[in-house]
Homo-oligomer: A and B are copies of this chain.
Amino acid sequence: MKIAVDAMGGDFAPEQIVFGAIRAAKKYDCEIVLVGDEEKIQEVLHREKSGKTLKISVHHASEVIEMGEHPVTAVRRKKDSSIVVATGLVRDGICDAVVSAGSTGAAVASALLILGRIKGIDRATIATPIPNLKGGATLLMDSGANVDSKPKHLLQTAVMGSVYSQYVFDVAKPRVGLLNIGEEETKGNEQALATYPLLKNMTTIDFAGNAEGRDITKGNFDVVVCDGFVGNVVLKFAEGLAKTILKLIREAIREGGFFAKLGALLLAPVLKKLAKRVDVAEYGGAPLLGVDGCCIICHGSSNAKAMCSAIGVASEYVEENILAHIRDNIEKEEMLTNDCENK
């Protein structure tokens, strides 16, 4: 298995990306192709001596797509950018997956333009794992690739999320929920009201009804399906809230005097263990489901650990043959094409 890694994407590229690749090459049974500025990548690889003996190669790409650029325009113009070249390696069958912590828009645009979509899928969606109270992760999807989704898009999202949860998170029968503002079938906006009865009729997923905001971290659903607008707001809100809470606690301890500081010191080990358990870096990356190839999207602030996890996610995606399972299930759901073509 060969995984292409966009070495130039992310706030800490190329250093943390290369370090992450080195970790992953030691941990997983896969070959890694680092795509980007060869000179810069080699410089980092040489700092880490062990890098030389691992199954890591470098594929040069002269350009980089920056965060502010318009994704589609940039992907079309910068043919030799790291993300475009890395995605091309997957299209050409040289690599099995692409992993990037660069501009999410550029990664999505590259995947859509270069790999295309799976037959029967109208829109690709990002599935973000959110650590939950039961010790697992709830897939929140779409978490930002599409807005103004039609019911049929949400049905396709449900099928893809269910497959991913089953094969990558080993959930035998994933409980799929529709994100809504109440439990009852009669609650919600037009989109949710139109989607609920269709989800209920699906045969390849276990639809468990409406999920409310509080259910996302509760763990009573394995997949929570929503429009990318809501998903993106929730995800960024969670990020902001977590940072706010941490900052307030640090301030409180700083101002709290000796006993507070001692208390914090004594509590540190258990809190560290807990932080590890809910650390999103442990989950590494979010798959872009629906494109015809494996594409894993990482947070811009990903460090080596997160990149390593993301490469692990990619290798599991490929090993479990997620693409084939999505194809099969989408075919089975004839209703997707028959019943709700124009909804």
Residues of A near any B CB (own CB < 8 A) = 132-133, 144, 147-148, 179, 181, 188-190, 192, 212-218, 226-230, 232-241, 243-245, 247-249, 252-253, 255-256, 259-260, 262-271, 273-274, 277-278
Q: Tell me the nearest residue of chain B to A274, going by C-beta.
A: B252
Determine if A248 and B260 form an interchain contact, defined as CB atoms under 8 angstroms apart.
Answer: no
Bound CA span A236–B255, Å: 31
Bound CA span A226–B215, Å: 21
Chain B residues whose CB sits within 8 angstroms of the CB of A248 once the complex forms: 133, 274, 277-278
Nearest-neighbour CB distance to chain B for A256, whole angstroms, equals 4
Q: Tell me the nearest residue of chain B to A146, going by C-beta.
A: B189
Determine if B252 and A232 form an interchain contact, defined as CB atoms under 8 angstroms apart.
Answer: no
> What are some 14 contacts across the A-B interface (CB < 8 A)?
A147-B188, A148-B190, A189-B229, A213-B233, A217-B237, A217-B244, A233-B233, A234-B234, A237-B238, A238-B241, A252-B271, A260-B267, A263-B268, A267-B267
Determine if B229 and A213 form an interchain contact, defined as CB atoms under 8 angstroms apart.
Answer: no
Determine if A217 and B241 form an interchain contact, defined as CB atoms under 8 angstroms apart.
Answer: yes
Known contacts A190-B148, A240-B216, A244-B218: does B179 contact A233 (CB below 8 Å)? yes
- Residues of A contacting B: mostly: helix
Known contacts A179-B233, A234-B233, A234-B234: does B252 contact A273 (CB below 8 Å)? yes
Bound CA span A256–B218, Å: 23
Determine if A214 and B237 form an interchain contact, defined as CB atoms under 8 angstroms apart.
Answer: yes
Known contacts A144-B181, A188-B147, A232-B213: does B270 contact A133 (CB below 8 Å)? no
Determine if A181 and B232 form an interchain contact, defined as CB atoms under 8 angstroms apart.
Answer: yes
Chain B residues whose CB sits within 8 angstroms of the CB of A278 once the complex forms: 248
Q: Tell me the nearest residue of chain B to A272, going by C-beta.
A: B252
Bound CA span A144–B212, Å: 12
Q: Tell me the nearest residue of chain B to A238, going by C-beta.
A: B241
Chain B residues whose CB sits within 8 angstroms of the CB of A274 once the complex forms: 248-249, 252
